[in-house]
Amino acid sequence: MEKLEVMQWPKWLRRNQAHRYLSVADNTFMKNYVQNGKVRAYQTAHGIRYDRDEIDEAVRHYYD
């Protein structure tokens, strides 16, 4: 029996990971989530990161 690999997403996502996590294009992520204030960008020592839990919450309340 084949073992399926489960992709684990880290808590803090880079921009290219964040839009793939949502399964949307990069421009869609930036326009509909970041620029509208639903997801904030956090400056860390390793660059700009997006919180996975905040992205999940934004998706739950997308139409609010």
Residue 5 lies in a domain: no
At 62 the pLDDT is 85
Cβ atoms within 10 A of the Cβ of 39, count? 24
**pLDDT tens, position by position, 38-63:** 999 999 999 999 999 999 999 999 88
Q: How many domains does the chain have?
A: 1
Which single residue is written with the structure tokens 């904030």? 40
Question: Using 50, 70 and 90 to split pLDDT, how confident is the model at 8?
Answer: confident
**In-domain check, residue 18:** yes
| Residue 48 forms part of a structural domain | yes
Q: Flag whether 23 is in a domain.
A: yes
Provide the domain limits for residue 28.
12-60
Say if 50 falls within a structural domain. Answer: yes
Q: Is residue 42 in a domain? A: yes
Q: Is residue 4 part of a domain?
A: no
Beta bridge partners of 5: none
